[in-house]
Structure 1
Amino acid sequence: MSGPLSGVRVLDLTSNIMGPYASLLLADMGADVCKIESPEGDSTRSVGPGRNKGMSVTFLHANRNKRSVVLDLKKNSGLAALKRMVSTSDVLMYSLRPKTMAKLDLAYEQVRDANPRLIYCGAFGFGQRGPYADRPAYDDLMQAAVGMPLLQARKSGPPQYVAAAFADRVVGMAMTQAIAMALYYRERTGSGQAVEVPMFETFAHFVLGDHLYGHTFVPPIGDWGYERMMSPERKPYRTLDGHVGVSVYTDRHWQRFFEMAGRPEMAADPRYASLAARMQHVVELFEFLAQTFETRSTDEWVKLLVEADIPIVKMNTPETLLDDEHMKAVGFFQMQEHPTEGPIRTLGIAQQWSESKPEVRYPAPRLGEHTVEVLLEYGLTQQEVDAALRDGGARAEIQNSNQELNHA
């Protein structure tokens, strides 16, 4: 066994970032994830640099530990092959809009009779009970919809998106959590079910826990937005030779820091003596920290604050993070020899398990690399697979039959 989800069969009909990130987390935990791709492949195969067509860095990082199966669901043989796979799968996950799934004859009501134990999980833009139900959605739209750019603007000027696929990855994690809990429910009851993970509502829950703020009360007792998080001064602090991230937060932290900064009298100032008081004067404290950190080097501050048990870290770039001593010690970045892409750097599995240890088992797959072997594993005969390949319902990079035929 490799990972706690070893033996769980997952059909992944998602694309882009959100769904593939969710299935990556399942695959890293040992699930057998079959990535069902259209003949054109996942769009992220072309996003970012790559050594070969269809194998971009974005795709490589989101799709290891998965196998690629190409099916054209607009053709009868492709759809029939997928339905055969559904009948013996544990999970079907998708990111198409529900109406599109219904048009493909793949709505939950259309597949559950063939497999009552199936976990049928969709992550898409909006909950199906509201007026936005049929709209498409992407990460930028979700950030805008819940107000992230305006929250950023209170710090830095014009509204801006966060520089990461923030909503996609948060909702992807929520999708993984939903699937895991549905599998647990099935273990107790024997029953599968349909689960919807709408992006809008899921990301709103994530953001508003911090920023609904005064509007939590009816009527409101203050503005929206957590002031400390939106302050323009909440940022890494410049040192003599770089930047550090610092969280001086508890009473003890501040008492020690005031002493270290040569201002012990500030600890007795009622404006700074408690968390509630400091929240009322957070901007001036941020300014004080900024001025203080400019007086020493990064290494000096890290040494002093680590010894005082005040949270601090050197600010990295993605490049310098590769040489971080902690990341090296835990082996987070690993080298892998990809069969077609050559040496690549992979991101480690961050969790540690005392049992059922997860592993990186497969490199990210080439388009249609596993079509034939997977379809045969799921019960199709060689004749059925060959017929689907001939009429375009299935495509494979290589078909292993009596001879090798290139279908790429």
Structure 2
Amino acid sequence: MAQEARGMSTEHVTGNQTGDEAPSDGPLAGLRIVELATVIMGPYAGAQLGDLGADVIKIEAPGGDPTRHFEPQRHEGMAGATLNLNRNKRSVRLDLKTTAGREALLALLGTADAFITNVRPDALRRLGLWYEDVARDHPGLVYVNAQGFRSDSPQGNNAAYDDILQAATGLVWLNEQVSGEAYYVPTVLADKVCGLMIVQSVLAALHHRNRTGAGQHVEVPMADTMIAFNLVEHLAGASLEPVQEPGYGYTRVLSKERKACRTADGWMCVLPYNDRNWRDFFTHAGRPDLADDPRFATMTGRVQHADALYAYVREVTPRYTNAQWQAFCDRVSIPAHPVYSLQEAAESSYARQGGLLQTALHPTEGAYRYVAPPVRYSRTPSQLWRHCPNLGEHTAEVLTEAGIDPAPLFAAPSTGHARLPRQDTSEPCAG
């Protein structure tokens, strides 16, 4: 049933090999998005819009998106990250440092509903692609730019990638409070959170345009987005005037004892939460009296004494196996789960039953695995309808659609796997 909800099966699929438009039943069918973005943040946003049926046109420099050079890969320019981030898109290869390339992009924007980019503001201005430049001819366009910092701030044109944003927005500090070491979260969290915010922004601005006919400029500064994200729970005592101690930081989450628990045969997360959960847990541990201990009897007390509470949990859990803990916790409705590796999570029975990791046959790359869209629509399921394109594969097709004759200006896209020039690391992008 889960696979049917996505319109997919667990067998090899070929996707759309004909270059047809997106399925007409996708929730965003009929929308065209032009994506001038590289690495993770912008392409992640574009991939989600493409999964929902939008016609996403990815503009790539002559060297291609840097993810095309990640390893491992079977052929030059088609790494695993690229296969997943750039599915359901068409690739147009343009050199925006040339007049012809810029004019081609501007013509494409005239056919688009929305434009998303993570090129830095000064570079967009130099290219004549800043919002005011584009809006003069395309006032109905939704223009969304995302970069490290607000464009009107002193840092507005600073280079900024995920590690930098983790440092600038409190994430590295939060890790230091717990572990004593200023380390990064081992995932590109800022890139992905901000990619989600780009999607939200595009859809909100398009809804406004549908009501009023007016496009607009939307800016998604990564720093602002991640500070707001981190403060959801960590504003804490700083939300009050005057500030109430301990100020910034949610005490329970910052407990140094808030860790996975060793069991008789592995590791578990066991998280009693409400009063009944804790009473059941203490009874199972042979200490029912702790349920009436003033430190642990209320939510307020448990938060204030989180170190002692979590230390006790970790003292008790080695008595039983993972399976025994899971059975007990399920019976009394205590949240619990074994600690999984990435592979165990991706290949678990839960993930398999939900069809979260699918196998497809790419026309040039052969069999590959991709991450299926996690959100389930009862009437308009997301799906793979076009495999990740080779660099510039749709240049002639898309430009012709926009009324531009590509023959005099662009070489015919190669169908082989000639080595790509490496992406210039000074490319003025963020995320």
Q: TM-score range by the shorter chain?
A: over 0.9
Whichever residue aligns with residue 104 of structure 2, its letter is A
Return 247-256 or 88-97, whichever deviates more: 247-256
Per mean C-alpha deviation after superposition, the further-off stretch among 153-162 and 126-135 is: 126-135
Q: Which runs of 4+ in 1 moved over 4 A?
A: none
Q: Does 2:153 match 1:130? A: yes
Return the match for 2:408 from 378, 387, 393.
Answer: 387
2:355 maps to 1:331: yes
Moved more, 315-324 or 275-284: 315-324
Distance 1:43 1:323 in 2: 28
Note closer, same or farther for the CA distance 1:407–1:73 as it changes in structure 2 (3 Å cut). farther
Q: State whether residues 123 and 197 of structure 1, in contact with CA within 8 Å, keep that contact through their aligned partners in structure 2.
A: yes
Q: Pick from 274, 277, 285: which aligns with 2:309?
A: 285
User: How far is the alpha carbon of 1:141 from its aligned partner?
Assistant: 0.6
Deviations 1:187-243 (A, max 9, x none): 111111110000111111001222232222333221321121122211211111111
Aligned to 1:55: 78
TM-fit CA distance, 1:369: 1.4
- CA-to-partner distance for each residue in 1:336-384, whole Å, 9 max, x for gaps? 112222211111111111222221111222111111111122222xxx2
Residues 130-149 of structure 1: CA deviation (Å, up to 9, x unaligned): 22122121111110001211
Give 1:150's aligned residue: 173
> What's the counterpart of residue 344 of structure 2?
320
Q: Structure 1 residue aligned with 2:292, among 268, 283, 299?
A: 268
2:159 is equivalent to residue 121 of structure 1: no
Higher helix content, 1 or 2: 1
Local SS of the residue matching 2:29 = coil
Pairwise mapping of residues 5-404 of structure 1 onto structure 2 (< 5 A)? 5-223=28-246, 224-380=248-404, 384-390=405-411, 396-398=413-415
Contact 1:397–1:407 under 8 Å retained in 2? no
Contact persistence 1:91–1:118 (CA under 8 A): yes
Q: Deviations over 1:277-319 (max 9, x none)?
A: 1111111110111111111111111111112111111211111
Shift of 1:265: 1.5
Q: TM-score, normalised by structure 2?
A: 0.88
Residues in 2 aligned to 1:230 and 1:221: alpha-carbon distance in whole angstroms = 17
Q: Is the 8 A contact 2:76 2:419 kept in 1?
A: no
Task: Give 1:83's aligned amino acid.
Answer: L
Letter paired with 1:387: P
* Cα distance between partner residues in 1 of 2:365 and 2:263: 40
Query: What SS does structure 2 have at the residue aligned with 1:161?
Result: coil
Q: Is the 8 A contact 2:252 2:304 kept in 1?
A: no
CA distance in 2, matches of 1:143, 1:302: 34
CA RMSD of aligned residues (A): 1.8
Question: What SS does the corresponding residue of 1:191 show, helix, strand or coil?
Answer: coil
Indicate if the aligned counterparts of 1:333 and 1:346 stay in contact, CA closer than 8 A.
Answer: yes
CA distance in 2, matches of 1:30, 1:177: 16
Kept in 1: contact 2:70–2:81 (CA 8 A): yes
**Structure 1 residue identity aligned to 2:82:** F
Corresponding residue for 2:6?
none
Percent identical: 39
Give TM-score scaled by structure 1 length: 0.93
Contact 1:2–1:359 (8 Å) recurs in 2: no
Q: CA deviation at 1:407?
A: 11
Query: Structure 1 322/173 Cα, relative in aligned 2: closer, same or farther at 3 Å?
Result: closer
Amino acid in the other structure paired with 2:29: S
Query: Which residue is equivalent to 1:401?
Result: none
Asked if the contact 1:14–1:20 (Cα under 8 Å) also holds between the matched residues in 2, the reply is: yes
Count of matched residue pairs: 396
Q: In structure 2, what is the Cα distance between the partners aligned to 1:152 and 1:316? A: 21
- State the AA in 2 paired with 1:133: G
Quick one: distance in 2 between partners of 1:44 and 1:53? 11
1:245–1:314 contact (8 Å) kept in structure 2:
yes
> Contact 1:98/1:107 (CA < 8 Å) preserved in 2?
yes
Task: Identify unmatched segments of 5+ residues in structure 1.
Answer: 399-403
1:153-177 deviation digits (Å, cap 9, x = unpaired): 1111220000000111111111110
SS in 1 for 2:38: coil
Gaps of 5+ in 2: 1-23, 421-431
